[in-house]
Chains A and B, each alone.
Chain A
Amino acid sequence: MDLKRVKNEEKLVLCRKYYLAGFFILPFLWFINCIWFFNEAFRKPEYPEQSQIRTYVIRSLIGALVWMTMIIAWVAVFQVNRVSWGIAGEMLTFVLPTGKE
Chain B
Amino acid sequence: MEVSRKKEVIYVTWYFIFILFAVYPVTCVRTKEKIYIELETQSACFRNLNATHQVGCTSDIAGNVGTIHYIQSEADFEWILSVGMHSPYVAVLNSEDFTGDNVKKLYKSERVNGIMVINQLLNTTVSLYPQEGFSSADICPYDKYGMYANDSNFANCKKVLWNPTGTSLYFQDIGIPVIALSDPTDVDAVLNKCYFPFNLPINNQSRDFPVCAAEMKSRMDGAVDSISCLRRTNRIALSLSIPQQFCDPLGDKNVIVTMKDTPQNGNRTDSSVIMIAAKLDSLGLFQSEYKAADTTVAALVTMLATAEALWKRKEDIRNADDAKDIMFSFFQGEAFDYIGSSRMVYEMKKNGFPQKYKDGSATYLHKIELKHLDQIVELNQVGHRNDFDSLWSHTDPLSFHKVSDKIPSMRETMVKFGKAVNLTIQETDEGKPLPPSSAQRFLKERGDIPVIVLTDHRENYTNKFYNSHLDTAELIDAMNYPPEANASTKYKYITRQAELIANLSTTMARYLYNASTNREPTDEVLNDLIADPMTVIHIFPHADLYTNSVACFFLVSVDAKQPFPFYVSVSSHTSEITQLVYSLMARFTGEKTNSSQSSCNQPKNDKRYSYTWMQGELVTNKDGSSSREGWCFQSLVGYTDAVSPAFVIDDYDMLSGQYSTWTESRWGNNAIGVRLFLIPSQGFQASILVVGLIMLVASLGLVLFCNIHSDVIFSKRSFETASSYSPMT
Please report A residues at the B interface, Cβ cutoff 8 Å: 87, 90-91, 94-96, 98-101
Contact = CB atoms under 8 A, between A and B. Distances in A.
Contact of A90 (B221, B232, B238, B665): B232
Contacts of A87: 231
Interface string B42-61: 00000000000000001001
Summarize A's interface: helix, strand, loop or mixed: loop
A99 B232 contact: no
Interface in B196-237: 219-224, 228, 231-232, 235, 237
B61 A99 contact: yes
B235 A99 contact: no
B244 A96 contact: yes
A101 B237 contact: no
Nearest to B61: A99
Contact of B221 (A91, A94, A99, A101): A99
Nearest to A98: B221
Nearest to B219: A99
12 contacts: A87-B231, A90-B232, A95-B239, A96-B246, A98-B61, A98-B219, A98-B222, A99-B58, A99-B219, A99-B222, A99-B665, A101-B224
A41 to B, nearest CB: 38
Contacts of B224: 101
Contacts of B223: 98-101
Nearest to B47: A99
Contacts of B221: 98-99
A10 to B, nearest CB: 39
A95 B243 CA distance: 10
A16 B495 CA distance: 94
A90 B246 CA distance: 14
Interface of B: 58, 61, 219-224, 228, 231-232, 235, 237-239, 244, 246, 665
Contacts of A99: 58, 61, 219-223, 665
Residue among A90, A91, A96, A98 with most chain B CB within 10 A: A98
Given A95-B244, A98-B219, A101-B223, 12 more contacts: A91-B235, A94-B238, A95-B239, A98-B221, A98-B222, A98-B223, A98-B244, A99-B221, A99-B223, A99-B665, A100-B223, A101-B224
A33 B239 CA distance: 31
B246 A98 contact: yes
Contacts of B665: 99
Nearest to B220: A99
Contacts of A100: 223
A101 B221 CA distance: 10
B235 A90 contact: yes
Nearest to B241: A95
Contacts of B58: 99
B231 A90 contact: yes
A95 B58 CA distance: 20
Nearest to B238: A94
Contacts of B222: 98-99
Contacts of B61: 98-99
A96 to B, nearest CB: 6
Residue among A90, A91, A96, A101 with most chain B CB within 10 A: A96
A99 B228 CA distance: 12
A101 B54 CA distance: 11
A84 B101 CA distance: 34
A88 B238 CA distance: 16
A100 B224 CA distance: 7
Contacts of A91: 235
Residue among B220, B222, B237, B238 with most chain A CB within 10 A: B237
A100 B238 CA distance: 21
Nearest to B237: A94
B232 A96 contact: yes
Contacts of A94: 237-239
B552 to A, nearest CB: 38
A87 B230 CA distance: 12
Contacts of A98: 61, 219-223, 244, 246
A97 to B, nearest CB: 8
